[in-house]
Amino acid sequence: MAFILAFIPIGLILVLMLGLRWGAARAGGVGYLSALVIAILYFGAGPVLLAFSQVKALFLSLDVLLIIWGAFLLYMVADEAGAIRTIGRSLPHLTADKGMQALVIGWAFASFLQGVGGFGVPVAVIAPILVGLGFTPLAAVIIPSIGHGWGVTFGSLGSSFQALISSTGLPAAVLSPSSALFLSLSGLVTGLMVAHAASGWQAVRRLLKPVLALGIVMGVTHYFVAVAGFWNLATFIAGVSGLLICFPLARRYRPKPDANLSNNDNDPLDPRALTLALSGYAVLVLIILLVQFVSPLRVFLGQISFQVAFPELITDLQFVTPAATRSLYIFRHTGMQLFYASFFSFIFYKMAGLYHRPRPAACILSGTLRKVMSSSVSIASMVSMAVIMENSGMTATLAQGLASGMGQLFPLVAPWIGALGAFMTGSNTNSNVVFGALQLRTATLLGYLPAIILAGQTAGASLASVIAPTKVVVGASTAGMAGQEGEVMRKLLIYTIPLVLLISLFTYLGVWISSW
Amino acid sequence: MVTLLRHWLSRNKHIVHLIAFLLIVIPSAALYPVAQQEVVTWIWVLIFVIILGNILVVSLD
């Protein structure tokens, strides 16, 4: 009974978005309302618990929304200057093949962005570029979403992996080999899926060699960097290595012309225009790298933070959420880095004379405001729902139900628990925080090697985080598909379910091999 | 009247979303001091406003 009730909010969202094709904002509202009612009536959530949950949700929402607002602003700054159109016209000169463009931008570049930024930035930045290149809006969201999923655990400078270490108390040396192996292997499969999402099975066959080359280079780099102890740089360095071989690979790879190729022979490459157009994104990468690696700057930007202390919360059913303090380092937040990039890019584009309409700043700001509102509401509702479920014990009930119901098949289920956590909270990090200890406890009870089960947890969460409604909203809205999130999620599920199944298989095999 | 209202709502979605967002966010921030002092009546009032914000979004076509 408790399991069924705990599942209702998620089930409703799935049915409304996937079945009835509602937008995320409306479905999120229903999910929130149902979670609230069930938490109060069945799970014994009192007013104080609900109040602190709502504040916590506001904090988490701001964490995500800053990135969405910043990404949109940067996109509008570039679009108003004609930069997106210029990139769209210029990149086919590198490779005219749509599938190869998808691999370069939607896989290697997306992995790089996940390594340095994360938190939805890869999809928010790349989807509009792909639309500009002539991809359908749906494909423009799907490609970078799949392309960066394998790098989430060790991306964002390892924040999700750090959460796994913190929640389980196990050292990185124990956790990293199996986690890195599972994700590196799945990375190769994501490459094939990116090719498929770009141009179908024909592209998978045609692009097998570049996918293998890129996948092996990025995967091997990812694995060895993580195992060598530099796990916080694994996705970043894998992304850089991918980009380094991507460009010569794209130039060497000259497919036969077919219907999928863009014909740009009559549109000569203008290096100056392309450099100017790319400068906005170059500024973004430069700012992210400076903030991450220049310690004095990082310390300076981290001087001002919002810190909110949350007391221990207990439901009437005695489910306890430990006391915690949440911090928001506003000026070095990834979203703020997008705002800095937007500001400097605007000045740069303005000095270069790329704005032709009067009062470009007003046009950019009003355009941004119009586009972000739907996403902002849906994220506020869905994060509220997730936090209420977490603090009232609904999430734990779901996880325990899944684990106890499966018994000896638990290794197959562990990645799905991680995936469920990522789907609900929109984050691999949050999934590891919520389910890390539970997975460790269950693995120990059932006599499985914890490192393998936890690798399944974080890899499942990493790959499934791309279908989290919050991320889908980001991708859909940046590609001009706001209100059609159900369609995006439906398509993403086609790629994500086999990936999580693959991780289930790896986990099962890992447990089997380790039992010898 | 209801039809006219629904028509206006669907034509001005971004304004409605902005209003709903404010109805969710502002009471959420206000809940922190109220929750610290455990003023139950105000907690329910503020949560009711948040519920209204969500209902407003759900009512949009």
Closest listed residue to residue B19, CA positions, set A72, A25, A12: A25
- Interface confidence (ipTM) of the complex: 0.92
Distance from CA of A206 to the nearest CA of B (A): 43
Burial of A343 (0-12, 13-18, 19+ CB in 10 A): middle
Interface test with A, best of B24, B26, B34, B49 (most A CBs within 10 A): B24
Contact between A108 and A122 under an 8 Å Cβ cutoff? The reply is no
Option in B29, B35, B54 nearest A33 (CB)? B54
Q: What is the pLDDT of residue A88?
A: 61
Q: What is the pLDDT of residue A432?
A: 77
Q: What is the pLDDT of residue A42?
A: 94
Q: What is the pLDDT of residue A485?
A: 81
Q: What is the pLDDT of residue A118?
A: 64
CB atoms A376 and B57 under 8 Å: no
The count of other CB atoms within 10 Å of the CB of residue A369 is 16
Option in B17, B34, B47 nearest A377 (CB)? B17
Percent of chain B residues topping a pLDDT of 90: 59
Contact between A387 and A60 under an 8 Å Cβ cutoff? The reply is yes
CB atoms B54 and A55 under 8 Å: no
Q: Which two tokens stand for residue A297?
A: 């700057």
Please give the Cα distance from A351 to A416 (Å, whole number): 51
The residues near A286 (Cβ < 8 Å, ≥ 6 apart) are none
A313: β partners: A321
Q: What is the pLDDT of residue A493?
A: 92
CB atoms A28 and B57 under 8 Å: yes
pLDDT in tens, chain A (516 residues): 888 999 898 888 878 876 777 777 888 899 999 999 999 999 999 999 999 999 988 988 887 788 778 877 887 888 888 887 776 666 666 677 888 889 988 999 889 878 766 667 788 888 888 887 889 999 999 999 999 999 999 886 677 787 788 767 789 899 999 999 999 999 999 999 999 999 889 888 988 999 999 999 999 999 999 998 888 778 888 988 988 888 778 776 655 544 444 444 455 667 788 788 878 778 877 887 788 788 898 888 888 888 889 998 899 988 888 888 888 888 888 788 889 989 999 999 999 888 888 889 999 998 888 878 877 888 788 888 888 988 898 888 877 887 777 778 889 999 998 898 788 766 787 777 667 777 887 788 788 899 999 999 999 999 999 988 778 887 888 788 877 888 888 899 999 999 999 999 999 999 999 887
Looking at residue A17, the DSSP 8-state letter turns out to be I
For A306, phi then psi, to 5°, come to -95, 125
Please give the Cα distance from A86 to A132 (Å, whole number): 8
Residues in chain B: 61
Option in A30, A54, A373 nearest B21 (CB)? A373
Q: Tell me the pLDDT tens digit for each residue of A357-391.
A: 888 999 999 888 887 887 788 878 888 888 898 88
In angstroms and rounded to an integer, the radius of gyration of the C-alpha atoms of chain A is 22
Closest listed residue to residue A302, CA positions, set A340, A331, A335: A331
CB hemisphere CA count around A230 (13 angstroms): 13
Contact between A43 and A393 under an 8 Å Cβ cutoff? The reply is yes
Please give the Cα distance from A381 to A406 (Å, whole number): 32
Q: Tell me the pLDDT tens digit for each residue of A440-452.
A: 877 887 888 999 9
Closest listed residue to residue A267, CA positions, set A86, A446, A472: A86
Residues of B in contact with A51 (CB under 8 A): 31-32, 34-35, 43, 46-47
Distance from CA of A33 to the nearest CA of B (A): 7
CB atoms A369 and B24 under 8 Å: no
Q: Which two tokens stand for residue A318?
A: 């005695």
Q: Which two tokens stand for residue A352?
A: 């270069």
Option in B20, B38, B46 nearest A48 (CB)? B38
A324: β partners: A310
Place of tokens 């996937």: A18
Residues of A in contact with B32 (CB under 8 A): 51-52, 55, 308
The count of other CB atoms within 10 Å of the CB of residue A412 is 17
Contact between A504 and A415 under an 8 Å Cβ cutoff? The reply is yes
Please give the Cα distance from A393 to A56 (Å, whole number): 15
In angstroms and rounded to an integer, the radius of gyration of the C-alpha atoms of chain B is 14
The residues near A291 (Cβ < 8 Å, ≥ 6 apart) are A297, A298, A301, A332, A337
**Regions of chain B where pLDDT drops below 50:** none
Please give the Cα distance from A438 to A399 (Å, whole number): 8
Distances (CA, A) of A248 to A100, A210, A244, A258, A272: 12, 11, 8, 22, 21
